[in-house]
Amino acid sequence: MAYVLAGGITAVAHYGVLVGLVEIGHVDPVPATLAGFVVGAIVSYALNRWLTFDATHSHAQATWRFALIALGGFALTGVLMHLFVARAGLPYLPMQFVTTGIVMVFSFLGHKFFSFADRAG
């Protein structure tokens, strides 16, 4: 449940930046979603460390792991949105929902088993 709450707050931050940049700033959807992803990643780190995974190791340990998974999510977001929107010409917002679902699964598994996993020793 905590992951859903953290993900919801993260999505609001990401989508707020995305829609604001596209609709008000007239930025193309792919760079706009990547900017939103960066904002969302910052929110996600704080919320997931605190709420979801109750990490016990240091920020120094968790930060580089989180950044690695986030970088994978960033790349996956960019590739999927480029394929859906720039190449296939599909509407950006529905395709962002699809992309979010895919990246959410990737990120959850990466953070659970790598970023915030408690390690013995």
Does residue 107 sit within a domain?
A: yes
Work out how many domains the chain is built from and give that number. 1
Q: What is the pLDDT of residues 58-114, one digit of tens each?
A: 667 778 888 899 999 999 999 999 999 999 999 999 999 999 999 989 988 997 888
Does residue 13 sit within a domain?
A: yes
24/48 Cα distance (integer angstroms): 30
> Under 8 Å CB-to-CB from 58, ≥6 apart: which residues?
none
Does residue 108 sit within a domain?
A: yes
Parent domain of 106: 2-115
Does residue 52 sit within a domain?
A: yes
Does residue 76 sit within a domain?
A: yes
- For residues 36-53, give the mean pLDDT: 83
Q: Are residues 18 and 36 in contact, defined by beta-carbon separation less than 8 angstroms?
A: yes
Does residue 95 sit within a domain?
A: yes
Q: Are residues 43 and 21 in contact, defined by beta-carbon separation less than 8 angstroms?
A: no
* DSSP state letters, 99-119: HHHHHHHHHHHHIIIIIS---
Tokens of residue 43, six digits: 């929110």
27/22 Cα distance (integer angstroms): 5
- For residues 21-39, give the mean pLDDT: 98
Which residue did the predictor score with more confidence, 117 or 99?
99
Q: What is the pLDDT of residue 54?
A: 58
Does residue 121 sit within a domain?
A: no
- Average pLDDT in the chain: 88
Does residue 120 sit within a domain?
A: no
